[in-house]
Amino acid sequence: MKTAFIDAYINHCLTNNKRPDNVFLFAKAMNIEESEFYQHYSTLAALEADIYRTWFLSAYEQCEQNELWGGYSTREKILAVFYTLIEVIKPNRSFATFLKKQDVKKLPQWPSYLAELNKVFVDKLKPILFEGVSSKELASRKYLEDKYVDAIWLNWLFVLTFWIDDSSAGFEKTDEAIEKSVNLSLDLMGTGPLDAMLNFGKFLFQNR
């Protein structure tokens, strides 16, 4: 049933070029009682926030169902999730664009409709990043490794914004943006120049 609410909400926003004014009018447009809406969502904002969450869970499930998933490295898993999530959202690019235009004044803070997405994003990807630390694919950095997932979240926000603005055929530039940005993020999380900088900073602090 939630899918029906999501489809109706997206259709309303795009047809009227605005969000529904209230639950009563939205329920009336769906030919249901207002009380039926409340069986699934407390507010229209809660429904809206569930849309990206639903898309993400669909994309993640597709990734997990890939028989090769278990053998993927952390880098391959993150890339797979990003690529698949964009593919899941593509049929609703007009709605993604609509939401971005509605909330442009809220930047640089990420908008409320991504709040539920953030929760499942962190819940699913944090263990993958910890696997990377355990396998030494990513560097173990006290205090910092817990923040790796926050960096990947910011990476996703960049990709989403890039894709919405991408005018290239087949969104090929978005594919390139995913590859380059995710690889850069994970390279920085790996052992390398960043560790040298941190060690040097620690040395300066201890010997000031």
pLDDT at residue 123, as a whole number: 98
CATH number for the region 73-191 comes to 1.10.357
pLDDT at residue 195, as a whole number: 58
Which residues in the chain land under pLDDT 70?
104-108, 193-205, 207-208
Domain residue spans of the chain: 73-191
3-state SS, one letter per residue, for the chain: CHHHHHHHHHHHHHHHCCCCCCHHHHHHHCCCCHHHHHCCCCCHHHHHHHHHHHHHHHHHHHHHHCCCHHHCCHHHHHHHHHHHHHHHHHHHHHHHHHHHHHCHHHCCCCCHHHHHHHHHHHHHHHHHHHHHHHCCCCCCCCCCHHHHHHHHHHHHHHHHHHHHHCCCHHHHHHHHHHHHHHHHHHHHHCCCHHHHHHHHHHHHHHCC
